[in-house]
Structure 1
Amino acid sequence: GTLTRNNTDPYLSYSKGDIIDLNVEHALEALGGEYSFTKYWLQARYYVPVKGLGDLFDSRIGDEDNPAIFAARLRIGFSSGDLPTASLYSLGGSGTLRGYDDAEFEGAEMLLANFELRIPIEKAFGFVVFYDTGNTWKSPWQSNSGSFSLSDLHDSWGVGVRVKTPLGNFRLDHATGENESRTHFGFGEMF
Structure 2
Amino acid sequence: MTDSPVRLLICDDHAVVRAGLLALLSSTPGIEVIGEAGSGAQAVTLADRLRPDVVLMDLQLGADMDGAEATRRITELPAPTPRVLVLTTYDTDADITRAIAAGATGYLLKAESPEELFTAIQAAAQGRTTLSPPVAHRVMAHLRNPRPTLTARELDILAQLARGLGNRDIARALHISEATVKTHLGRIYDKLAVDTRAAAVAVAKEQRLLP
TM-score (ref. length: structure 2): 0.20
**Larger fraction in strand:** 1
TM-score (ref. length: structure 1): 0.22
